[in-house]
Structure 1
Amino acid sequence: MQTRVNKVAGFLKDYAMDALLVMQPENRFYLSGFTGDAGALLVTAGQSYIITDFRFIEQAREQSPHLELIKMETTLADALVDMAGRLNLHVLGFEADYISYKFYDTLHKKLGEVSLRPVEGIIEQLRLIKDKNELETIQRSMALLDEGFKYICSFIKPGISEREVALELEMFMRYRGAEKTAFPFIVASGPRAALPHGVASAKTINTGDVVTLDFGVVVDNYNSDMTRTISLGSPSNQIKQIYNIVLEAQLAGLVAVRAGVAASAVDKAAREVIASYGYGEYFGHSTGHGVGLAVHEGPRLSLRDDTVLQEGMVVTIEPGIYLPGTGGVRIEDSVIVEKEGCRLLTKSPKDRLIEL
């Protein structure tokens, strides 16, 4: 992790700042390994620091031995005032998209002549490409999803509620090592499958319902994400038709993924398939996103993101069609970007609409 800290310190001169305050939890963990609820990092060109209170002192000492530990006696703002004087700081950078205006105002008043400089994306750019250890952890997180999907297909039956399915799925994966869910599970059945983010409700799943299952877990701080659409018995012909269209689009997106390709090109590959069948207006979200310490992180596989994919990135491919009042289909896999293509991390069956 010292190497990561050194890389961030190397950006300080480029942004004409003496130090960078890091508070966003995923960024803080990425540079420190610290998992406590309260703490901040101060990265300088020389020594870097972790600041926390009495509750987390021993934890920080154990998890972040490469950082100098500063015990926060009162508030973080007061600790920063003391450090600014001790380190002769003139310009302090901060994560513009994380800290609140209230905290910014407090710092501005207490730091006096120290200038505050908003910056974005420094650490997030480093996080885009995962190293070997990160990829191994993400693979373990993803593997739980395949286990969970196989199990939940044996559990779902007519008369059970969406919430019961979500709870059973969560418990199954937590017993097998998941720390928590990556997000509230989407279990959307029947007409509710037309809701792209139809979080599990009290609705009963009935024979003939299509069911969208979008779920992910956290293992050793790293997220996973997968979606499969199944049906309870035989669904309508229209649902069968759009399933095949979405599958074709998803496979086109997967084929488009490789190092050197723009994220927008992957989105285009999947989107054009759906549009060619006349369902373009029913696919209103991006084709995918990055996955790592956050379940939704860069790059975004959308028409507006021209980020060039690089080896070691982990992204999702998840096109969908959503028909209000009827239902919907989404198929999502997470993959590692490689030089000549991509490697599937989620391998649950999808070549046909599974009818339970």
Structure 2
Amino acid sequence: MNHFAKIAAQLESRDLDGMLLTHEANRFYASGFHSAGTDGMALVTREKFYYFTDSRYTEAARRHVQDAEVQEAGHGRGYSALLMEAVQRHSIQRLGFEDAYMTVREHDAYARALPCELVPAADLLAELRAVKDPEELEIMIAAQRIAEKALTDILNEIRPGVTEKEIAARLQYLMLHYGAEDKSFDPIVVSGPNGSLPHGVPSEKVIQAGEFVTMDFGCIYHGYCSDMTRTVAVGSVTDEMRQVYDTVLQAQLAGIAAARAGATGKAVDGAARDIIRQAGYGPCFGHSFGHSVGVEIHEGPNATPSNDKPLPAGAVISAEPGIYLPGKLGVRIEDVLYLTPEGCQNLTLAPKELVIL
């Protein structure tokens, strides 16, 4: 799978002769081939597509990159030389670049080396990546199923005496075991008072009876991310713990009910936030309802209080409200939603009722 043609189709309307892709995630989106960091470059012109890389990746790129000419950068003929040749070959006058990612030093070097105008165009890729096509959606569902298999297994291992780090390590192993290429991000596993840290780092803390354990994790499959959070209790819950959990769940369900293409990110976030505020926990929900997911774990557009723009059909966003009582406990529940004009498809099948292990 690649998106060269989809990118090329946008060039004329943006008055561009080509689009230069140096950012790792955008190179993958265009080509379907992953190389790390700055070890690659893609060029999309109106007539032809190119993928430039070095000798460490050339053979792999030629096996996997379709619909593009793969060229090898090396000593004496580096990326700038390959790019210069293509710019001259296609008479490129206006070349789009990723202004959201390219450093000032890189921009200045290309501006000196190339006989064309560099035009900021990061939004071209952002807009395309925001809308998932059927093949992307299928891959993301598969990634979600891998994470859910890991969740099913890990619930059998959470007990008093096990540390947060041990659960985090096991989640990573289980996702790889079930077919993941990597983790989407370092898993968050926090228990008891550590649960009030939305992005807490797993520690040597021992899980104890009567505590919540929050697990936020996901995996990469065929280049696309999954993301989910579940909070479970160990042994027993207090009335306060149950109230907090039920409030978060009702808030999430309200946000999901409001989530649809055409709704603003602010409206979706607000539907969930109102539930938490009405329950008296407004100050304890500091982050937003959700972010988009795709090639990267955090993409746009987002369901945030500041986003007053309509969410597009085909966007995949997280649904993850939470309540965090400092030094005491925290609860977050997260699913991933595919937005349609009629509403949304919840890609997450894992149950959400309170589990007491």
On whether the aligned pair clears a TM of 0.5, the verdict is: yes
Alignment-mate amino acid for residue 169 of structure 1: L
Deviations 1:160-210 (A, max 9, x none): 110000111111121111111100001011111001101211211111121
CA drift of 1:215 comes to 0.7
Percent identity (aligned): 41
Equivalent position of 1:64 in the other structure: 65
Whole-angstrom CA distance in 2 between matches of 1:294 and 1:318: 17
Please tell me whether residue 19 in structure 1 is matched to residue 21 in structure 2. no
Deviations 1:111-135 (A, max 9, x none): 3x53222222211211222222211
Alignment-mate amino acid for residue 130 of structure 1: K
Alignment of 1:125-140 (within 5 A): 125-140=127-142
Whole-angstrom CA distance in 1 between matches of 2:118 and 2:124: 16
Whole-angstrom CA distance in 2 between matches of 1:176 and 1:246: 30
Equivalent position of 2:80 in the other structure: 77
Equivalent position of 1:99 in the other structure: 102
Whole-angstrom CA distance in 1 between matches of 2:14 and 2:199: 38
Whole-angstrom CA distance in 1 between matches of 2:72 and 2:173: 38
Equivalent position of 1:245 in the other structure: 247
Distance 1:77 1:333, change over 3 A: same
* 3-state SS, counterpart of residue 269 of structure 1: helix
Match of 1:314 among 313, 316, 337: 316
Equivalent position of 1:354 in the other structure: 355
Structure 1's unaligned 5+ residue stretches are: none
Alignment of 1:182-261 (within 5 A): 182-261=184-263
Structure 2's unaligned 5+ residue stretches are: none
Equivalent position of 1:6 in the other structure: 5
How many residues matched? 353
Report which stretch shifted further, 332-341 or 5-14: 5-14
Whole-angstrom CA distance in 2 between matches of 1:289 and 1:327: 24
Equivalent position of 1:275 in the other structure: 277
CA contact (8 A) 1:73 1:79 kept: no
Distance 1:310 1:102, change over 3 A: closer
Distance 1:339 1:15, change over 3 A: closer
Whole-angstrom CA distance in 1 between matches of 2:106 and 2:206: 45
Alignment-mate amino acid for residue 203 of structure 2: S
Equivalent position of 1:28 in the other structure: 27
Cα RMSD of the aligned pairs, angstroms, is 1.8
Alignment-mate amino acid for residue 122 of structure 1: L
CA drift of 1:310 comes to 3.8
* 3-state SS, counterpart of residue 161 of structure 2: coil
TM-score by length of 2: 0.93
CA drift of 1:7 comes to 3.3
TM-score by length of 1: 0.93
CA drift of 1:220 comes to 1.0
Alignment-mate amino acid for residue 133 of structure 1: E
Alignment-mate amino acid for residue 134 of structure 1: E
CA drift of 1:259 comes to 2.7
CA drift of 1:107 comes to 1.6
Whole-angstrom CA distance in 2 between matches of 1:308 and 1:348: 28
